[in-house]
């Protein structure tokens, strides 16, 4: 594996959350990818993207409008859960009762050119959002590095990207239409039903179903993204300057290595051009190198580090330039599982250094690069960035490998730094411990939730675990 190959795949690696180290069409090792078998003619399961959550709902509904969602809410039986693209790793979706797909609630509803605002239906994917907004002369200021989620799903979980001057997707929401479990339609914003608005901007889907979202946008812009392999010590020496100098900066520490992949993204300049080719297959070599070397007694991990250093010795970088909504996202075709916590921005370096040391000291079987990002503070009640600028650190494991053992070794380090888990990713915290991480507004959120859903109709097992039941 050459450094050039590696850098080429920073795009595939970076993926907001994730790094896929096996290629889209390569064999991932023969383990069953699906958690449940399907037999034609038998009940159809719902399965999340990561393949670690599934259900067999008794009823599936696919409303295409707010009015139809009202009808669904009034007629549905049992626990109701909405699903967008199914990219959450946590079990926010599974229900044995009523599963509401937002697949048919897509597209642009309206826009205000003067205010630079646009209203989208909740099931619109971020993939489709870019060109829809571009056509009306608007763009979101920042986007996650993969665009499969729906806008409603992204907002419900405070899905984010990177950039010290940018909040999560929830931070750009200025209005929402919410249908409560009782079938009431609530228009909310900072001025109208502000408590519902503050709760709904990061709700994990506990308040009902969001049918429309209004975003505060800016004029369309172009970006240039540059990916490099660098020494991690060089990044630590200059990370503050890099964050100030660039519109977006993030990097991917590689376990058992002194190397990392950096990704800097800035407004495109005249003359910027693409360099390198996308080659998702090449990144699979990292796993192969890990598997081929780390079994060697005593020196395996050092051997792996040496192999990486030699492989990446040549100079190279990958550059992607284009419209913002074309440059922000990357293709994600490789299955993995992910845990992410956000610690206070100033604690980021110490936290990730401790994790890297722990992985090495305990010889944990983890070759996926981590992801390290900064996000600006906001005032959204249950946002991971509420009240403090955050550093989000993501840990990944291949989809065909047990993740629980490794994540269990690392998760306490996040707790030590008062980390807040990503709502859509894997963690083990319950309501009591989560409440302690959100001292200012946990009860505010709970009051709104109980008011809108007094019978706990949106509460599946996972939501009962994180919110403490109805």
User: In terms of CB distance, is 121 or 160 closer to other proteins?
Assistant: 121
User: In terms of CB distance, is 333 or 377 closer to other proteins?
Assistant: 333
Cα 377 to Cα 265, 313, 381, 386, 388: the distances in Å are: 20, 38, 12, 6, 5
Name, in order, each residue with C-beta under 8 angstroms of 299's C-beta and a sequence gap of 6 or more: none
User: In terms of CB distance, is 226 or 342 closer to other proteins?
Assistant: 226
Binding mask 334-373 for other proteins (x = CB under 8 A): xx--------------------------------------
User: In terms of CB distance, is 47 or 410 closer to other proteins?
Assistant: 47
Cα 190 to Cα 151, 179, 217, 233: the distances in Å are: 19, 18, 16, 43
Q: Which stretch binds other proteins (CB under 8 A): 41-49, 250-258, 261-269, 443-451?
A: 41-49
Under the criterion CB under 8 A, does residue 27 sit at the interface with other proteins? yes
List the end-to-end C-alpha distance of the chain, in Å, as a whole number.
53
Six-digit token pair at 47? 């399965």
What is the total residue count of the chain?
470
User: In terms of CB distance, is 104 or 299 closer to other proteins?
Assistant: 104
Cα gap 131→136, rounded to integer Å: 9
Under the criterion CB under 8 A, does residue 90 sit at the interface with other proteins? no
Indicate which single residue of 14, 16, 18, 51 sits in contact with other proteins (rule: CB under 8 A): 51
Cβ-contact 259, 230 below 8 angstroms? yes
User: In terms of CB distance, is 274 or 451 closer to other proteins?
Assistant: 274
Smallest distance, other proteins to C-beta of residue 306, A: 30
Indicate which single residue of 78, 322, 349, 387 sits in contact with other proteins (rule: CB under 8 A): 322
Query: 150-181 burial, b if ≥16 CB within 10 A, otherwise e?
Result: bbbbbbbbbbbbbbbebbbbbbbbbbbbbbbb
Say whether 325 sits in a helix, a strand or coil: helix
Indicate which single residue of 5, 18, 46, 70 sits in contact with other proteins (rule: CB under 8 A): 46
Cα gap 305→255, rounded to integer Å: 9
Cα gap 164→243, rounded to integer Å: 7
Helix H or strand E segment including 307: helix 300-311
Cβ-contact 169, 202 below 8 angstroms? no
What residues numbered 131-160 form the site for other proteins, per CB under 8 A?
A: 131, 148
Smallest distance, other proteins to C-beta of residue 222, A: 12
Q: Which stretch binds other proteins (CB under 8 A): 319-327, 344-352, 372-380, 450-458?
A: 319-327
Alpha carbon 246 to chain centroid, angstroms: 22
Under the criterion CB under 8 A, does residue 164 sit at the interface with other proteins? no
Smallest distance, other proteins to C-beta of residue 218, A: 20
Under the criterion CB under 8 A, does residue 127 sit at the interface with other proteins? yes
Indicate which single residue of 331, 377, 431, 470 sits in contact with other proteins (rule: CB under 8 A): 331
Under the criterion CB under 8 A, does residue 271 sit at the interface with other proteins? no
Six-digit token pair at 247? 């519109």
Say whether 453 sits in a helix, a strand or coil: coil
Indicate which single residue of 29, 31, 58, 60 sits in contact with other proteins (rule: CB under 8 A): 60
Smallest distance, other proteins to C-beta of residue 33, A: 6
Cα gap 81→259, rounded to integer Å: 42
Smallest distance, other proteins to C-beta of residue 205, A: 14
State the Cα angle at 155 between 150 and 161, rounded to 5°.
Answer: 90
DSSP string, 393-434: EEEEEETTS--HHHHHHHHHHHHHTT-EE-TTS-----HHHH
User: In terms of CB distance, is 87 or 247 closer to other proteins?
Assistant: 87
Under the criterion CB under 8 A, does residue 16 sit at the interface with other proteins? no
Indicate which single residue of 45, 165, 220, 387 sits in contact with other proteins (rule: CB under 8 A): 45
Taking each helix axis from N to C end, the angle separating 404-416 and 348-361, rounded to the nearest 10 degrees, works out to: 140
Q: Which stretch binds other proteins (CB under 8 A): 39-47, 158-166, 176-184, 364-372?
A: 39-47
Under the criterion CB under 8 A, does residue 47 sit at the interface with other proteins? yes
Indicate which single residue of 66, 85, 203, 367 sits in contact with other proteins (rule: CB under 8 A): 85
Helix H or strand E segment including 361: helix 348-361
Q: Which stretch binds other proteins (CB under 8 A): 30-38, 162-170, 195-203, 227-235?
A: 30-38
Helix H or strand E segment including 82: strand 80-83
Cα gap 217→215, rounded to integer Å: 6
Under the criterion CB under 8 A, does residue 62 sit at the interface with other proteins? yes
User: In terms of CB distance, is 232 or 263 closer to other proteins?
Assistant: 263
User: In terms of CB distance, is 23 or 91 closer to other proteins?
Assistant: 23
Cα gap 222→243, rounded to integer Å: 19
User: In terms of CB distance, is 12 or 308 closer to other proteins?
Assistant: 12
Binding site for other proteins (CB under 8 A): 23-28, 33-34, 36-41, 44-49, 51, 60, 62, 83, 85-86, 99, 101, 103-104, 106, 125, 127-128, 130-131, 148, 274, 277-278, 280-281, 320, 322, 326, 331, 333-335
């Amino acid at each position: 594996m050459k450094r050039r190959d590696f850098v080429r795949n920073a795009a595939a690696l970076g993926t907001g959350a994730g790094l896929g180290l096996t290629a889209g069409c390569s064999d991932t090792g023969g383990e069953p990818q699906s958690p449940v078998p399907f037999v034609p003619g038998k009940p159809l399961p719902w399965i999340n993207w990561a393949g670690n959550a599934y259900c067999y709902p008794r009823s599936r509904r696919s409303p295409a409008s707010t009015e139809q969602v009202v009808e669904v809410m009034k007629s549905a039986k049992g626990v109701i859960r909405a699903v967008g693209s199914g990219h959450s790793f946590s079990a926010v979706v599974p229900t044995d009762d009523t599963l509401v797909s937002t697949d048919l609630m897509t597209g642009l509803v309206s826009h205000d050119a003067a205010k630079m605002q646009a209203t989208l239906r909740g099931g619109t994917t971020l993939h489709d959002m870019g060109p829809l907004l571009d056509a009306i002369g608007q763009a979101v200021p920042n986007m996650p590095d993969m665009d499969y989620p729906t806008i409603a799903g992204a907002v419900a979980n405070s899905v984010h990207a990177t950039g010290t001057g940018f909040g999560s997707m929830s931070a750009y929401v200025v209005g929402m239409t919410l249908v409560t479990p009782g079938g009431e339609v609530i228009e909310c914003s900072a001025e109208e039903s502000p408590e519902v608005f503050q709760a709904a901007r990061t709700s994990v889907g506990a308040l009902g179903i969001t049918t429309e979202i209004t975003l505060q946008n800016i004029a369309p812009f172009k970006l240039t993204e540059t990916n490099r392999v660098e020494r991690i010590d060089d990044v630590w020496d200059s990370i503050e300057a890099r964050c100030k100098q660039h519109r977006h900066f993030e990097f991917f520490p590689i376990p058992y290595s002194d190397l990392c992949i950096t990704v800097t993204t800035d407004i495109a300049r005249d003359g910027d051009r693409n360099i390198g080719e996308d080659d998702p297959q090449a990144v699979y070599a990292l796993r192969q190198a890990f598997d081929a070397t780390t079994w060697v007694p005593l020196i395996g991990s050092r051997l792996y580090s040496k192999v990486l250093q030699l492989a990446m010795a040549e100079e190279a970088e990958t550059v992607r330039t284009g419209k913002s909504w074309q440059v922000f996202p990357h293709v994600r075709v490789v299955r993995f599982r992910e845990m992410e916590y956000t610690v206070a921005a100033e604690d980021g370096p110490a936290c990730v250094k401790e994790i890297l040391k722990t992985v090495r000291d305990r010889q944990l079987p983890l070759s996926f690069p981590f992801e390290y990002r900064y996000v600006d503070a906001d005032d959204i009640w249950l946002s991971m960035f509420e009240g403090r600028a955050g550093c989000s650190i993501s840990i990944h494991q291949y989809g065909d490998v047990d993740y629980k053992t490794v994540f269990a070794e690392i998760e306490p380090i996040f707790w030590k730094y008062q980390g807040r888990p990503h709502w859509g990713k894997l963690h083990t915290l319950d309501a009591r411990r989560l409440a302690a991480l959100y001292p200012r507004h946990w009860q505010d959120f709970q009051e709104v939730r109980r008011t809108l859903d007094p019978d706990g109709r949106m509460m599946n097992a996972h939501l009962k675990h994180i919110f403490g039941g109805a």
